[in-house]
Amino acid sequence: MSKTSSVNPAVFEWNGPNTLPRFEAVSDGDYAPAFEAAFALHDAEIDAIAGNAEAPTFANTIIALETAGDELSRVSALFWNKAGAHSNDTIQALERDIAPKMSRHYSKIGMNADLFRRIDTLWEARAGLGLTTEELRVLERHWKGFVKSGAKLERKSQERLAAINERLAGLGAQFGQNVLADEKSWCLPLKGGEDLAGIPDFLKEAMAAVAEARGEGHAYVVTLSRSIIEPFLTFSTRRDLREQAFRAWVARGMNGGESDNRAIVKETLAFRAEKAGLLGYANYAAYKLDDTMAKTPEAVNALLMKVWEKAVDQAKAEERELGALVAEEGKNHEVMPWDWRHYAEKLRARKFDFSETELKPYLQLEKIIEACFDVAGRLFGITAVPLKNVVGYHPDVRVFEIRDRNGKLVAMFLGDYFARPSKRSGAWMSSFQSQHKLPLKNGAVGEIPIIYNVCNFAKPEEGRPALLSLDDARTLFHEFGHAAHGMLSNVTYPSVSGTGVSRDFVELPSQLYEHWLTVPEILKTYAVHYETGQPMPQALLDKVLAARTFNAGFAAVEFTSSALVDMAFHTGGAVEDPMALQAEVLEKIGLPKSLVMRHATPHFQHVFAGDGYSAGYYSYMWSEVLDADAFSAFEETGNAFDPAMAEKLKANIYSVGGSVDPEVAYTSFRGRLPSADAMLKKKGLAA
């Protein structure tokens, strides 16, 4: 019997429009048998490569590895998309089962001595193989990946490492599910009247829409979705309700009971420290930073502390201004974390003579999406063509063809913009399929990228436009920057395609893309009033641009404190009490009590819901050094869309993926590596 005879063919055979999966043809019950079949198929392919009687060559070993596991890649892409963007109890139970199995599967490959021997032989002989730069990078990635998977360890240590990885995978899955459970279970019902004091119409509409969707009989509800909680904390004049909502927001993952993440964090840190030791690293941060631009924990902490010192001074000055507003109102309370956004908005209105409520009618979701596509067209010559009758993985998902200047299809893009209880919080980019040019066993040669963006904007009532905050609009541009990195990829090998770059380089294309949101000609064109269609008045536009660095200390302190705690967790070995260490770090660096970390440890999903940004949250700031300098290259030409500079950007940053060393890639674009000065100026922390 075939290994796939019990599998729904729609899981593995993507024959929707332009090779899209047929999402509607896949049910929750299809995933478990598909994973089992995919594991077996991949095992057989690995055994064939490892057991090849011929001497190892780049083709029969590395290229073979690059194209192996296609079925596993497909079921994984479908499943992890569902687990993040539209989960349910069945998917969550399967996630807890599949995450350790995936780890076990890849640990077995990493410990395959015959396979590593072939890769090691090629690595030792690499200078004489006549490989291209990209091929050398691909070989290096496979060799280092095997070494980091324990290929050079003795068998007993390999088995221990495999057990650790399996347990860490399960812990990461549980951590994320616990945060989602806390977010889903909490809401603050509001009846109207005084409960809505200070709340603008756009937020009332969003809270009413959420209340209706929850079906619990409330007129309005505050939820822990960032697109609801942040504007509520900004506009509500009910300090008691702000405090209640804020405390629930920061308590995600530490409410006691089954969804409490504190024990998971402790266990995770202990296993990570043991893993680093097994592999010969001083600590987990050293292990994670080994293949990054930063290289060492010392380099990371040096950058973070340089920013921290300026950020905390700026935040204290901002706090004094907010305190003066509190006193003006005849109140005598200190500025606390649930007060900051509220009084900062009042201060911004005073200093720059505009408020978020004045700005928001000009930031329609539909127009900001158009702006994203327009920027991509001006910079990179690509066009987005909406496909109206193509089914995505949820009714809210939009599907687009991405075509180049000649009309050639280069990618597919899916946009999933609205919050829902089945979706984890935050925003992210991922892919169903990465670009490459290799022949596949189904006869195809190469694949186009299929990229998706997920956001959590408040869904409006039927017939009403979705209005964004300026921060929401930046988020949309940020995630589309990641998407462009995936869609513009032009490499041969899948392992270095698109966002397959070092963690502290991957945020460069996304953060750089944010700059074009506030280019005046983009705002003038797309920031139009949802009722009148009139463009944002020049006076308001000028105020928005003047206020770009307002509240800079707050933003920098929120982020940098989180990054410093992340580094402390992963440079100190096993941690007996993570919450005590968090408190110790925050006291040592002098976090004002009016502020909190952007991500407190029990809901720090970047770091603990998987391994992606562990000892790596700093990378947003590392990339910010690069993106501030990179946009300066356009500013120096006097044209934000300078064609020659845009071509250099596409050729050296957006299209090369990980096929080139990131320092080489950036230097090829800019002519040099940057200093932190442009970043500090951009953040409003330096003159």
pTM of the complete model: 0.93
As a whole number of angstroms, the distance between CA 61 and CA 49 comes to: 6
Q: Which two tokens stand for residue 618?
A: 């700093």
Element (H, E) at 70: helix 70-85
As a whole number of angstroms, the distance between CA 523 and CA 518 comes to: 6
By residue count, the chain amounts to 687
Residue 332 CB neighbour total at 10 angstroms: 7
pLDDT at position 1, please? 44
Q: Which two tokens stand for residue 371?
A: 């702006």
pLDDT bracket for residue 2 (50, 70, 90): low
Per-residue pLDDT of 47-57, as tens digits, reads 999 999 999 99
| Mean pLDDT in residue range 647-675 | 97
Where are the strands (E) in 426-551, listed by range? 428-433, 436-439, 445-447, 450-457
Q: Quick one: how many helices (H) and strands (E) in the chain? A: 29, 9
Q: Which two tokens stand for residue 214?
A: 């929850």
As a whole number of angstroms, the distance between CA 343 and CA 358 comes to: 16
Whether 479 sits among the annotated catalytic residues: the reply is: yes
As a whole number of angstroms, the distance between CA 175 and CA 187 comes to: 21
| Mean pLDDT in residue range 285-311 | 95
pLDDT above 50: residue 147: yes
All domains of the chain in start order, with CATH: 9-178 (1.10.1370.40), 186-251 (no CATH), 361-546 (1.10.1370.40)
As a whole number of angstroms, the distance between CA 516 and CA 509 comes to: 12
Per-residue pLDDT of 450-496, as tens digits, reads 999 999 999 998 899 999 999 999 999 999 999 999 999 999 999 99
Please, what is the average pLDDT of the chain?
A: 96
On whether the CB atoms of residues 35 and 26 are closer than 8 A, the answer is no
Rg, the chain, Cα only: 25
Residue 587 CB neighbour total at 10 angstroms: 9
pLDDT at position 153, please? 97
Per-residue pLDDT of 69-94, as tens digits, reads 999 999 999 999 999 999 999 999 99
Percent of the chain with pLDDT over 70: 99
Residue 408 CB neighbour total at 10 angstroms: 9
pLDDT above 90: residue 531: yes
pLDDT above 80: residue 5: no
Taking alpha carbons only, the member of 180, 226, 24, 213 closest to residue 87 is: 180
As a whole number of angstroms, the distance between CA 190 and CA 393 comes to: 33
Q: Which member of 45, 135, 166, 479 is catalytic?
A: 479
| Mean pLDDT in residue range 200-219 | 92
| Residue-wise DSSP of 528-563 | B-TTT-PBPPHHHHHHHHHTTTTTHHHHHHHHHHHH
| Mean pLDDT in residue range 318-343 | 97
On whether the CB atoms of residues 453 and 479 are closer than 8 A, the answer is yes
| Residue-wise DSSP of 20-34 | ---GGG--GGGHHHH
